[in-house]
Amino acid sequence: MNKILVNGGGGYLGSVLVPKLLAQGYSVRVLDTFYFGNFLPFDAENLEIIKGDIRNEKTIVESLTGIDKVINLACLSNDPSSDIDPELTRDINYTANKNVIRIAHEIGVKRFIYASSSSVYGLKSEENVTEDLPVEPISLYSELKARVENYLLSIKDDNFTATAVRSATICGYSPRMRLDLLVNILTVSALANGRITIDGGDQVRANIHIGDISNFYMMLLDAEHSLIHNEAFNISDSNSTVIDMANKVQSLIKCKIEFSEKMDPRSYKLNDDKARRVLNFKNCYSIEKAILDIKRSFFEGRIRIDDVNCYNIKKLLLLSLPFLKTY
């Protein structure tokens, strides 16, 4: 079985994906700064954890030693966090991510799967946003995602499988919970306050259950090289307006819906037919299930709305810029 390095594996997605990889029999190494804590199983037999920074080249080389395949999730992972300090964001999300790819390629890693984002498309009026449409990022976060993708997918080497995942917004429960993602925020505010406030409401957004996106990353680890090399894949569950999403939450949790001024104009209908056609990807979960999973975890005390680790921007500001700039 291959040995997998998951950079940023201590985050929201990684904390669900890594246990799944271990359960499938993979040997896993995680490299993470653990800005939001470490919720990985600490006693798992085939899990090696490196607390370190992808900006440090020595750490990159050490973490890549003996590795067959890389899943790279590490970055400042949303627009507000990326806007804290553009230089810091370029260092992590662009320079360090590119270095990890370059060194992985140089030392003979076989496969590199990069966590891009559907936000690279920006605002699109097309009915179907497919992978062949030009990327038009409207934030620093998505601009750097697009640039790293472009670097990775331009490596033409049949001994190195290079793939980018343009994921929809993820939702559902993770031991490292994020309460700054659309469905998660709506659900938890309905539970905690009996009220949802939505920003505008007519923006179309694509979401995906965390169980489905982690399954997709696992599929890519084993997919045939010729099907996924130098390819980007959109991946989602469904596209709906923010107001439809709020109505879905309201149908499962009693709450009021209130409106505020539209602050975040991103809007696109993500088409993921390619992942379904090429890889036969099928969703096993649903957005309703994500809402219900969060509801159960909330009532079981596994989600605390006052836990600063659940909010990327708040936690990074608390850690402070000088701390974040040091590695």
Ligand X SMILES: NC(=O)c1ccc[n+]([C@@H]2O[C@H](COP(=O)([O-])OP(=O)(O)OC[C@H]3O[C@@H](n4cnc5c(N)ncnc54)[C@H](O)[C@@H]3O)[C@@H](O)[C@H]2O)c1
Nearer to ligand X by C-beta: 194 or 265?
265
Among 63, 77, 239, 271, binds ligand X (CB under 6 A): 77
Q: What are phi and psi of 209, to 5 degrees?
A: -70, 140
What are the residues facing 28 on neighbouring strands? 4, 47
User: 182 vs 190, which CB is nearer to ligand X?
Assistant: 182
Nearer to ligand X, 10 or 122 (CB): 10
> Contact letters (x/-) for ligand X, 144-173, by CB under 6 A?
-----------------------x-xx---
Q: Taking CB under 6 A as the rule, does residue 189 contact ligand X?
A: no
Q: From CA 303, how far away is CA 179, in angstroms rounded?
A: 9
Question: Residue 269: how many CB atoms within 10 A of its CB?
Answer: 17
Q: How far is the CB of 158 from ligand X (least distance, A)?
A: 26
Helix, strand, or coil (residue 105): helix
13 near ligand X, judged by CB under 6 A: yes
Tell me which residues in 217-246 interact with ligand X (CB under 6 A): none
Total chain residues near ligand X (CB under 6 A) = 30
Among 5, 8, 131, 223, binds ligand X (CB under 6 A): 8
Among 63, 89, 117, 267, indicate the residue that binds ligand X (CB under 6 A): 117
The residue (of 181 and 188) whose beta carbon lies closer to ligand X is 181
Q: Does 14 bind ligand X (CB under 6 A)?
A: yes
Q: How is residue 315 written in tokens?
A: 């936690």
64 contacts 108 by C-beta, under 8 angstroms? no
Q: Binding segment for ligand X among 4-12, 120-128, 234-242, 280-288 (CB under 6 A)?
A: 4-12
How far apart are alpha carbons 164 and 170 in whole angstroms?
16
Residues 38, 206, 299, 282, CA torsion sign:
negative
What's the closest the beta carbon of residue 136 comes to ligand X, in angstroms? 17
CA distance 305 to 318: 16
The reply to whether 205 sits near ligand X by the rule CB under 6 A is no
**Tokens 């994500």, residue?**
290
Say if residues 204 and 197 touch (Cβ distance below 8 Å): no
Structure tokens at 82: 């990326």
Q: Does 19 bind ligand X (CB under 6 A)?
A: no
User: Among 197, 180, 311, which Cα is nearest to 246's?
Assistant: 197
Q: 260 in helix, strand or coil?
A: strand
Dist. CA 199–CA 205, nearest whole Å: 12
Among the listed residues 5, 6, 12, 64, the single contact to ligand X using CB under 6 A: 12
**Residue 218 or residue 259: which is nearer to ligand X going by CB?**
218
- x/- mask, ligand X, residues 26-55, rule CB under 6 A, reads -----xxxxxx----------------xxx
Q: How many residues are listed for the chain in this entry?
A: 327
Interface contacts to ligand X, rule CB under 6 A: 8, 10-14, 31-36, 53-55, 73-75, 77, 92, 96, 115, 117, 167, 169-170, 176, 178, 181, 312
